[in-house]
Amino acid sequence: MKKTTFILVAVSAAVLAGCATVGREDYKKAAQEMFFRSFETKGIATVDRLNQDEIQAACSEAEMNGKDLDEKLRARLEAAQMATIKPPSDGKFLGDWTKAEKIAQSGVGMAWNNKPGTVNGGNCFACHQLTKKEISFGTLGPSLYNFGKIRGVTDPNSPAAKAMVEYTWGKLYNAKAFNACTNMPRFGHLNGLTETQLKDLVAYLLDPKSPVNQ
């Protein structure tokens, strides 16, 4: 996850500052060892969460070097992530938008003190504005207010809206398919949200009756 990336970068920088004469691979290894020693399994938060997959490792490496990803590497990694996106099991992308605000507001889930089986929230308001009435929201991500309205979605069930509906589903399912080093969680790919929750959020973003588009 991106949070893991930031911590790893900070630890690496600290080790580098104290080991200026040590080779790059040596300090990188030392930083990783220090990083893993500083965490322990607690509740449902297990140490294996620190293990990075290929795309996370590539983005961490690029950030530590102060460089962007190589374009060919970026294209390959994003294509691999795109291949992970699965459509809804019943073929229906739209759920109940009236249930989605609770999902968007909730930051519950996947913490060490959550019990197994806890229903996760999306915590969307931590990074995005979604409705006009919201007076406090994060700005790490772009405003999603009027998401469907701006994109001309007057009926998300219409054939004309098909591409936007599928794009919205895909972005929620695995945002790294569209931007390799994005901060946005891979809600579907990493099972952060259920299929039903994802459907409800797609409807929340696109339905003209949703407060997002008022």
How much of the chain, in percent, has pLDDT values that exceed 70?
88
Q: Which of 58-67, 108-117, 169-178 has the weakest average pLDDT?
A: 108-117
Kindly indicate the confidence band of residue 48, based on its pLDDT and cuts at 50, 70 and 90.
Answer: confident
Does residue 189 register a pLDDT over 60?
yes
Instruction: Mark whether 101 and 206 lie in a shared domain.
Output: yes
Q: Span 74-79, mean pLDDT?
A: 98
Instruction: Mark whether 117 and 169 lie in a shared domain.
Output: yes
> Residue 171 sits in which domain range?
97-213
Instruction: Mark whether 57 and 102 lie in a shared domain.
Output: no
Q: How far apart are CA 148 and CA 205, in angstroms?
A: 6
Q: How far apart are CA 157 and CA 91, in angstroms?
A: 12
How much of the chain, in percent, has pLDDT values that exceed 90?
69
Q: Is residue 82 in a domain?
A: no
Of 53, 68, 83, the last residue of a domain is 68
Instruction: Report which residue type is found at 152.
Output: G
Q: Is residue 89 in a domain?
A: no
Instruction: Mark whether 134 and 207 lie in a shared domain.
Output: yes
Kindly indicate the confidence band of residue 47, based on its pLDDT and cuts at 50, 70 and 90.
Answer: confident
Q: Is residue 154 in a domain?
A: yes
Instruction: Mark whether 119 and 47 lie in a shared domain.
Output: no
Task: Tell me how many domains the chain contains.
Answer: 2
113 DSSP 8-state letter: T
Kindly indicate the confidence band of residue 6, based on its pLDDT and cuts at 50, 70 and 90.
Answer: very low
C-alpha separations of 42 from 12, 45, 112, 118, 212 in Å: 24, 5, 6, 16, 37
pLDDT at 5: 46
Q: Span 19-47, mean pLDDT?
A: 75
Q: Span 143-157, mean pLDDT?
A: 97
Q: How far apart are CA 78 and CA 93, in angstroms?
A: 22
Q: Is residue 197 in a domain?
A: yes
115 DSSP 8-state letter: P
Instruction: Mark whether 121 and 202 lie in a shared domain.
Output: yes
Instruction: Mark whether 60 and 113 lie in a shared domain.
Output: no
Q: Is residue 6 in a domain?
A: yes
Name the residue with higher pLDDT: 6 or 24: 24
Instruction: Mark whether 134 and 208 lie in a shared domain.
Output: yes
> Position of tokens 């001309």?
152
Q: Is residue 80 in a domain?
A: no
Q: Is residue 208 in a domain?
A: yes
The rounded mean pLDDT for the chain is 89
Q: Is residue 32 in a domain?
A: yes
Instruction: Mark whether 120 and 187 lie in a shared domain.
Output: yes
Instruction: Mark whether 62 and 103 lie in a shared domain.
Output: no
pLDDT at 22: 57
Instruction: Mark whether 182 and 112 lie in a shared domain.
Output: yes
Q: What is the dihedral of CA 30, 33, 38, 44, to 10 degrees?
A: 150
pLDDT at 17: 52
Q: Span 163-188, mean pLDDT?
A: 98
Name the residue with higher pLDDT: 16 or 143: 143
- CATH number of the domain within which 187 lies: 1.10.760.10
* Partners of 42 in the β-ladder: 45
Name the residue with higher pLDDT: 18 or 183: 183
* Alpha carbon of residue 164 to chain centroid: 19
Kindly indicate the confidence band of residue 25, based on its pLDDT and cuts at 50, 70 and 90.
Answer: confident
* Alpha carbon of residue 121 to chain centroid: 13
pLDDT digits (tens, 9 = 90+) for 8-22: 444 455 544 554 555
Instruction: Mark whether 24 and 122 lie in a shared domain.
Output: no
Does residue 197 register a pLDDT over 70?
yes
Answer whether 198's CB lies under 8 Å from 190's CB. no
